[in-house]
Amino acid sequence: MASPSALWLWAVALLPAFCAALRLGHLGPPGPLPLVIWHGMGDSCCNPLSMGAIKKMVEKKIPGIYVLSLEIGKTLIEDVENSFFLNVNSQVTMACQILAKDPKLQQGYNAMGFSQGGQFLRAVAQRCPSPPMINLISIGGQHQGVFGLPRCPGESSHICDLIRKTLNAGAYNKAVQERLVQAEYWHDPIKEDMYRNHSIFLADINQERGVSESYKKNLMALKKFVMVKFLNDSIVDPVDSEDRLGLREMDKAGQLVFLALEGDHLQLSEEWFYAHIIPFLE
């Protein structure tokens, strides 16, 4: 039988490993995987009628979950403005920096993007594999772009009028591409060459100007890529996306999930959300 002094020395020797395991969360039952949310055009991270409500719905069904709703800017007003006027590549870089610095996300997280936030989070998955994104849920995302006049309700409607005029005047103009978010995923099928040559965001993440093996590898590392489309969508046109990123391979492997529901853009009920989205977050 070991002496008391030997047992004491053994306990002291194991203390650093115990503390390290505790810091990394290896002891005790694991908590729910954190969730990162990215809002859509004309919205903000914390609007109580949109992303704030989504956050509460998730927290209600998954007690103890950490939910980070991305704020791109120093204020809520700046967050809304940036959804229209801050270069998407800069937004993605900012998001990657926020995620990399958050200690609660380092073991992995799920992501849920609404409308344009869906393709922005896909860019995060492709460009920034650390910390690892586990599941990506895109609700009403436009992964092959839009070719139609964006409509947004309420106080942002006057901004949308300006966007319509600007896109009609020249979506692929360099200055427009660098300063208007919606131009960066504008996909004009009549001007395919102009799109591929001048789209500074969507053509890149869709591998339409060249092939980045890391983009494909990082996207295929997702456990599930869930895409939700609205059958009566009056904002996004077209509603279907083409396969340009190895999605068929992911589909064969059971990594892709396609969901469709009746209704206009981002119109979903609490009951539908609980039944179809929450299971991917638990």
Give the catalytic positions in this structure.
115, 233, 265
Instruction: Specify the 3-state DSSP secondary structure of 78.
Output: helix
Identity at 275, one-letter amino acid code = A
**Residues 248-253: contacts with CB within 8 Å, 24+ apart?**
249/220, 250/219, 250/220, 250/222, 250/225
On whether the CB atoms of residues 142 and 122 are closer than 8 A, the answer is no
Q: How far is it, in rounded angstroms, from Cα 92 to Cα 274?
A: 28
On whether the CB atoms of residues 212 and 125 are closer than 8 A, the answer is no
Q: How far is it, in rounded angstroms, from Cα 31 to Cα 25?
A: 9
CA angle 84, 89, 90 (to 5 degrees): 75
Kindly give the pairing relationship between strand 224-230 and strand 133-139: parallel
Retrieve residue 83's tokens.
């959804």
Query: What beta strand segments (E) does the chain contain?
Result: 35-38, 67-69, 109-114, 133-139, 224-230, 256-261
